[in-house]
C-alpha cells in the first residue's frame, strides 16, 4: 500500500538559478568598479591641476563634459541602441499626473549638469535632478537646491540606470580619452 505524501505547511521557494545570480553579481561589481574608476580619475585630475596652470584648468573643465546637444544625442543614442539590439524608446513614463512623461534627452542633460552619474549617485542628488526636470516638491533656498519627492528621485534613478547609464558612461569615457590624447600631444610639443 503506497503512502500519500503529506502537504508541507510552508511553501518551498525554488533556489535562484546560480548562473543568473553569478552573472548579476559580476555585472553589479563591474558597474561599481567603473563608477569608482571615474571618481578616482576625477580626483587625480583635480590633484594634478594647479591654480596657475591654464592648461590643467582646461583639461579639468573638459573632464566633466557638457550634455550632448539634442541632434547629436538622438543620433548617438540611436546608434547605441542599434549596437545593443535594443528598442529605442526616448520617453520615460513618470508617476506624476501633472507631468506624466519626460524625454530621455532631458534626463541626460539634467544628470550631466550635476556632473555625471557617478557624482549624482555619490552625492545622492537624484531629487535635485528631479527638480531640474520640473518635479519640484521642496523649493530652493539660499543654501539648498530645489528637490523632488523621494518617489520621483527613485523613479529617475531606475530609469537612468536602465536606459542611459551605459550610454553616458561611453560618452564620458570618450571625452576622457580625448582629454588624455590632447594632454599627451601637448606634452610632446
Neighbour count for residue 35 (Cβ, 10 Å): 18
pLDDT category at 48 given cuts 50, 70, 90 is very low
pLDDT category at 13 given cuts 50, 70, 90 is low
Residue 155 has pLDDT above 90, yes or no: yes
Residue 51 has pLDDT above 50, yes or no: no
Residues 6+ apart with CB under 8 A from 93: 100, 101
pLDDT (mean) for 135-156: 96
Residues 6+ apart with CB under 8 A from 63: 41, 42, 45, 175, 176, 179
Give domain limits for the chain. Answer: 25-61, 66-186
Show the DSSP H helices in 12-116 as ranges: 18-48, 54-63, 70-84, 104-113
Residues 6+ apart with CB under 8 A from 160: 107, 111, 117
CATH class, domain 66-186, is mainly alpha
**pLDDT tens column, 87-106:** 889 999 999 888 899 999 99
The mean pLDDT value of the chain amounts to 80
pLDDT (mean) for 32-58: 54
Gap between the Cα atoms of 146 and 143, Å rounded: 10
For cell 591654464, name the residue. 54
pLDDT (mean) for 50-55: 47
For cell 569615457, name the residue. 173
Please tell me which residue, 35 or 62, carries the higher pLDDT value: 35
Helix (H) or strand (E) holding 102: strand 101-103
For cell 527613485, name the residue. 154
pLDDT category at 5 given cuts 50, 70, 90 is low
Amino acid at each position: 500500500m503506497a503512502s500519500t505524501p503529506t502537504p508541507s505547511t510552508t511553501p518551498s521557494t525554488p533556489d535562484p538559478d546560480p548562473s543568473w545570480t553569478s552573472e548579476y553579481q559580476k555585472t553589479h561589481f563591474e558597474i561599481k568598479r567603473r563608477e569608482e574608476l571615474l571618481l578616482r580619475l576625477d580626483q587625480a585630475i583635480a590633484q594634478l591641476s594647479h591654480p596657475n596652470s591654464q592648461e590643467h584648468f582646461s583639461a579639468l573643465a573638459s573632464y566633466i563634459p557638457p550634455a550632448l546637444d539634442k541632434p547629436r544625442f538622438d543620433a548617438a543614442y540611436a546608434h547605441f541602441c542599434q549596437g545593443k539590439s535594443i528598442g529605442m524608446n526616448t520617453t520615460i513614463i513618470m508617476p506624476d499626473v501633472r507631468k506624466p512623461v519626460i524625454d530621455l534627452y532631458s534626463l541626460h542633460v539634467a544628470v550631466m549638469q550635476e556632473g555625471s552619474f557617478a557624482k549624482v549617485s555619490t552625492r545622492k542628488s537624484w531629487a535635485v535632478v528631479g527638480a531640474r526636470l520640473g518635479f519640484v516638491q521642496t523649493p530652493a533656498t539660499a543654501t539648498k537646491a530645489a528637490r523632488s519627492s523621494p518617489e520621483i528621485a527613485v523613479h529617475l534613478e531606475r530609469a537612468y540606470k536602465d536606459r542611459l547609464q551605459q550610454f553616458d558612461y561611453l560618452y564620458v569615457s570618450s571625452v576622457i580619452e580625448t582629454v588624455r590624447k590632447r594632454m599627451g600631444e601637448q606634452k610632446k610639443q
